Structure 1
Amino acid sequence: MLCDPRFCLTPCGTRRKKIVDHFPHVEVPLPTPSKDEVLIKLEAASLNPFDWKILHYVGTDIAGEVIEVGRSVRKFKPGDKVVALVSPFSGGGLAEFAVAKESITASRPSETSASESASLPVAGLTALQAITKTIGIKLDGSGERKNVLITAASGGVGHYAIQLAKLGNTHVTATCGARNIELVKSLGADEVIDYKTPDGAALKSPSGKKYDAVIHCAVGFPWSTFEPNLTLNGKVVDITPSSASMLTFALKKITFSKKQLVPLFLLPKSEDLQYLIDLVKEGKLKTVLDSKYPLTKAEDAWAKSIDGHATGKIIIEF
């Protein structure tokens, strides 16, 4: 069996090249699922910035075939094709086999590829939670019309957020680099801003609209940049909250500000993951694949993710 990064024997540094060389290639026992887990033979996995930021526990998004189930598992059986979110506390999504909780595993129909499905867990669920639970957009198109800004809209979370937001009653403004403007438009964005322009840096809508909500998928941008662009009750959902954003969140709460910054912490559920897979099957949600790598080139995929300019998702195939 290939190296499982959970068994790294050497402390990892922050160098951007050859990071995977820090992980020794060792034989590890085949995992045994506990009573509420399934053992999955992997077909594809996807990388997220979350993976390289914590370094030791590589890979949480996986797709593959169920090999064995725990004694209390009822939804799955050996031979089922699934997509799952491996626990971020154990990782192991870049090994040939992995275990996942039944509660964060969903069925994968034959119409959806392993690569496309493996892209969904972290990025897709983050976008879904931000839009439906934090902002309150109804994806059946009902509800009051909202103006939404999505930053870093060509990235993993951003490209899903555009598509999901447009299922609701929304006007979407998006930021991205110049090379991805046409792609972001094709995903449904009503307005697109090059983030390197003055208006992009100021997050100003080309049509002068104020934002009811911002899904902030980029890094940086102080509160002072967001505030003048928000409606009276505008909300900024920060998917990568920093210490500065947490401080802003607290200050806005204790001062009873109508404009809020809300840090998002993903709470994955299998029913939400199944919902996303069904949208893919119905042609209402698609994955933009930046690149695919064989498992033997995982270090190249890792470096591409750290570079921070991926368009859509980076996939590792087994």
Structure 2
Amino acid sequence: MAETLMHALQYDSYGGGAAALKHVEVPIPTPNKDEMLLKLDAISLNPVDWKIQEGVLRPFLPRKFPCIPASDVAGEVVKVGPGVTNFKAGDKVVAALHHFTGGGLAEYAVAKENLTVARSPEVSAAEGAGLPVAGLTAHQALTQAAGVKLDGSGQQVNLLITAASGGVGHYAVQLAKLGNTHVTATCGARNLDFVKSLGADEVLDYKTPDGAALKSPSGRKYDAVIHCAAGIPWSTFEPNLSSNGKVIDITPGPSAFLTFAMKKLTFSKKKLEPLFVSLKKENLNYLVNLVKDGKLKTVIDSKYPLSKAEEAWAKSIDGHATGKIIVEP
């Protein structure tokens, strides 16, 4: 490679939002053992990216400043480091970069082989880049926490998915319907038809009285809630849960941990479970193959060039994206 510098965006301290992202020229990183250098074609933003910037995970993340944020990428392998056996230069891939290192908002990034999967021509870079954090969160919430079998076997599970038009929510609805489920979903009025089109059986406008109360139009009690929204108290969920129902909170805050502890201490059959996504290569590969087979789609809210990535960042912070926000170098 003749050039040694690349365009990237970074921030130097906590806070500041989109205005704190700086366009910089930095050295193209070098892959170490079990790593690959990728030339990026698409980067997907997740709320966790700007929450880390806000300091939600301080002092753990970011590991150091300046920080190049974002972790979900799709691109082409340019160079492999020692020990990489399954990929070679020219391969098209989807990768989850580690939040410890980040590095996604750039023209190139280094990815670990154990969090990288092949991307077939049927899956566009943008579709692939949307999958890692949001897709794997939805997959883990459904299969591990809610016990849904995505092959359609097992007893029917009555599910509620909140904020169903967002990044995690729109994947959760589609994946849930691969299993034996009845899905009630909440979203804003403008997205009711969209969420229905993803396969939801019942859709509630969260601003109506029934929507705010999370009441199933068909009177069902929920066996599990995939909770992708914020600011809904336990007291709203509890009357809508079945006797062993659980709320799976994908963005748990202090009150969620308090509820989790209280339910444990009182041996309550109704539970709240905080969910922390664990990125697994085999699950990412499964999702990429579902997209390839037309059984799952990444809905793209908007695309921005890397030169305007701060606008994508601001849109993510705004919190009203339908599907995924993509940045393209």
TM-score, normalised to structure 2, is 0.92
Residues 4 and 28 in structure 1, CA contact (< 8 A), matched pair in contact too:
no
TM-fit CA distance, 1:24: 3.6
Q: Which amino acid counterpart does residue 46 of structure 2 have in structure 1?
A: N
Name the % identity.
69
Q: Which residue of 2 aligns with 1:130?
A: 141
Q: Which residue of 2 aligns with 1:54?
A: 52
SS class of match (1:247) = helix
SS class of match (1:26) = strand
- Long gaps (5+) in structure 2: 1-5, 54-66
- Long gaps (5+) in structure 1: none
SS class of match (2:173) = helix
Q: Distance in 2 between matches of 1:225 and 1:249?
A: 15
Query: Do structure 1's residue 116 and structure 2's residue 127 form an aligned pair?
Result: yes
The count of residues paired between Structure 1 and Structure 2 equals 311
Q: Which residue of 1 aligns with 2:97?
A: 86
Q: What aligned pairs does 1:130-279 form with structure 2 within 5 A after superposition?
A: 130-279=141-290
SS class of match (2:177) = helix
- What per-residue deviation string (whole Å, max 9, x for no partner) do you get for residues 292-314 of structure 1? 11111101111111111000000
SS class of match (1:175) = strand
TM-fit CA distance, 1:4: 4.5
Q: Distance in 1 between matches of 2:208 and 2:68?
A: 37
Q: Distance in 1 between matches of 2:296 and 2:22?
A: 38
Q: Which amino acid counterpart does residue 89 of structure 2 have in structure 1?
A: P
Query: Do structure 1's residue 63 and structure 2's residue 77 form an aligned pair?
Result: no
SS class of match (1:28) = strand
TM-fit CA distance, 1:134: 1.0
SS class of match (1:3) = strand
SS class of match (1:266) = coil
Q: What aligned pairs does 1:269-308 form with structure 2 within 5 A after superposition?
A: 269-308=280-319
Q: Which amino acid counterpart does residue 35 of structure 1 have in structure 2?
A: K
Q: CA RMSD in A?
A: 1.1
TM-fit CA distance, 1:23: 3.5
- What per-residue deviation string (whole Å, max 9, x for no partner) do you get for residues 262-309 of structure 1? 000010011100000000011000111110111111011111111110
Q: Which residue of 2 aligns with 1:31?
A: 29
- What per-residue deviation string (whole Å, max 9, x for no partner) do you get for residues 96-117 of structure 1? 1101111111110011100110
TM-score, normalised to structure 1, is 0.95
Q: Distance in 1 between matches of 2:251 and 2:311?
A: 24
Change (3 A) 1:68 1:42: same
Q: Which amino acid counterpart does residue 177 of structure 1 have in structure 2?
A: G
Residues 153 and 217 in structure 1, CA contact (< 8 A), matched pair in contact too:
yes
Q: Which amino acid counterpart does residue 13 of structure 1 have in structure 2?
A: G
